[in-house]
Amino acid sequence: MKNFNQTAHQIVIATRGRGLYEFTRQVMDQLGATGLQTGLATLFVQHTSASLLIQENADPEVRRDLDRFFARLAPDGDALLGHTAEGPDDMPAHIRSALTAVNLSIPIAHGKLVLGTWQGIYLWEHRVDPHTRQIHAHFFGE
Amino acid sequence: MKNFNQTAHQIVIATRGRGLYEFTRQVMDQLGATGLQTGLATLFVQHTSASLLIQENADPEVRRDLDRFFARLAPDGDALLGHTAEGPDDMPAHIRSALTAVNLSIPIAHGKLVLGTWQGIYLWEHRVDPHTRQIHAHFFGE
Amino acid sequence: MKNFNQTAHQIVIATRGRGLYEFTRQVMDQLGATGLQTGLATLFVQHTSASLLIQENADPEVRRDLDRFFARLAPDGDALLGHTAEGPDDMPAHIRSALTAVNLSIPIAHGKLVLGTWQGIYLWEHRVDPHTRQIHAHFFGE
């Protein structure tokens, strides 16, 4: 019989407004503390105007380009949109959330996340103003 | 040794055509019946022209705006597209599916899904005509 | 007590450049070899310029249309973008990755993935040149 186990953690990220915030290290550290060698890590962001992204962690210009692209695709104050009561960036934030991911599942092998060489884990804040964002992390394995 | 368990359920949603259909309550009720306190819920939609979405469940205008946005981004009858045999809304439905999610992974804590205050779980029907949609729900934990 | 087990596999796909590469059969065969009857399969692509997609496996025109759509949405050589050192298709590849998925979670029932009739599993190569792509597959269940 295998000796499976699971643990849950809360990750809190205070954003300074729209942009990508890497938290790969926090997930790695939490995983290391569990002692799990093989299994599955699940990250879930508990908001509808922020998302989770795995992207290149080398050139910061990549993150600026992602922002430029999404600003063109779903611009703030878009006349098409009717949900404007919470500000011109609120509905575009919901759209960005729908186009990206609220959850990530990353296998664990040899005690580590199986991230590729250039992959980092990011919270993507879609609102212009700073927010405090909650991410639930679930680790399972043996 | 932990007392892990898993169960599977089928969720069937009869849509009235394109739009968002909330089924948070069904998932919550199925989870409640399992008695699991900590673990992982996985939802998987078994179609290529519908998807799963976690979005704001407060103002219904948010869902209308999501529809407006995707109708502009991937319009029905788009002259760019060659796969037209199944109707002008079929290939745009596949594109909407590719841009969103077919599966969701939501951790379970204290016997509940760890959804944020405003998060609801939706089936997103991308076809114009009504369809019967199948979602497989898998719960695992202890 | 349940008899849970887990296994991990590496799937390697040599692409011939941009496009969709189906590998449903490889995942099915690996799952079959595990003997698992009920559980969860997780696929994770270890790159930031390729993604995973579940799409229609019938008409190949669907895949061509997906490529046409994304070529219009995030064109190579887009003047908006600043990260150009790795070629005109590199930043668009990162954008395509952000708009799609790096991981898929597919429940297992009766010894099989619960894929719908028309659903196939694809690696989506976003770069123009051929690449060797790594996918980590994790199976868990009983």
What local confidence, expressed as pLDDT, does residue B84 receive?
Answer: 93
For A54-82, the pLDDT digits (tens) are 998 888 899 999 999 999 999 999 999 99
Q: How confident is the model at residue A9 (pLDDT cuts 50, 70, 90)?
A: very high
What would the DSSP string read from start to end of A115-139?
A: --TTEEEEEEE-SSS--EEEEEEEE
Which residue from B minimizes the CA distance to C70? B95
Which amino acid does the sequence have at A119?
Answer: Q
For A82-112, the pLDDT digits (tens) are 999 999 999 999 999 999 999 999 999 999 9
**CA atoms of B6 and B14, how far apart (whole Å):** 27
Identify which of A3, A91, A134 has the shortest CB distance to residue B62. A91
What DSSP designation does C82 have?
A: -
For C63-83, the pLDDT digits (tens) are 999 999 999 999 999 999 999
**If we measure between CA atoms, which residue out of A111, A134, A103, A123 comes closest to residue A9?**
A134
What local confidence, expressed as pLDDT, does residue A129 receive?
Answer: 98
A37 phi/psi in degrees, rounded to 5:
-105, -35
What local confidence, expressed as pLDDT, does residue C74 receive?
Answer: 98
What pTM did the predictor assign?
Answer: 0.97
**CA atoms of B111 and B101, how far apart (whole Å):** 25
What local confidence, expressed as pLDDT, does residue C17 receive?
Answer: 98
CB-CB neighbours of B128 under 10 Å: 16
Summary mean pLDDT of chain B = 96
Percent of chain B with pLDDT over 90: 94
Does A119 score more than 90 pLDDT? yes
Identify which of B2, B56, B106 has the shortest CB distance to residue A94. B56
Residue A7: strand pairing partners: A139
CA distances from C42 to B26, B115, C33, C39 (A): 24, 21, 16, 10
What local confidence, expressed as pLDDT, does residue B59 receive?
Answer: 86
Q: Which stretches of B92-131 are assigned E, i.e. beta strand? A: 103-109, 112-113, 119-125
**If we measure between CA atoms, which residue out of A131, A80, A134 comes closest to residue A102?**
A134
Identify which of B46, B83, B103 has the shortest CB distance to residue C104. B103
What local confidence, expressed as pLDDT, does residue C131 receive?
Answer: 98
Show which residues on chain A lie within 8 Å of chain C, measured between beta carbons: 1-2, 4, 38-40, 53-56, 59, 61-62, 64-66, 68-69, 72-73, 99-101, 104-107, 109, 114-119, 140-142
For B103-136, the pLDDT digits (tens) are 999 999 999 999 999 999 999 999 999 999 999 9
Does C137 score more than 90 pLDDT? yes
Q: b or e along A62-83 (b: 16 or more beta carbons within 10 Å of the residue's beta carbon)?
A: bbebbebbbeebbeeebeebeb
Higher pLDDT, A59 or B97: B97
**If we measure between CA atoms, which residue out of A133, A128, A122 comes closest to residue A48?**
A133
Does B137 score more than 70 pLDDT? yes
Which amino acid does the sequence have at C84?
Answer: T
* The residue count for chain B: 142
For C80-134, the pLDDT digits (tens) are 999 999 999 999 999 999 999 999 999 999 999 999 999 999 999 999 999 999 9
**CA atoms of B82 and C61, how far apart (whole Å):** 6
Q: C36 CB contacts (<8 Å, ≥6 apart)?
A: C5, C108, C111, C139, C140, C141, C142
Assess contact for B87 and B15: CB atoms under 8 A: no
What DSSP designation does C115 have?
A: -
Q: How confident is the model at residue C57 (pLDDT cuts 50, 70, 90)?
A: confident
Does B17 score more than 70 pLDDT? yes
Locate tokens 């668009």: which residue? Answer: C92
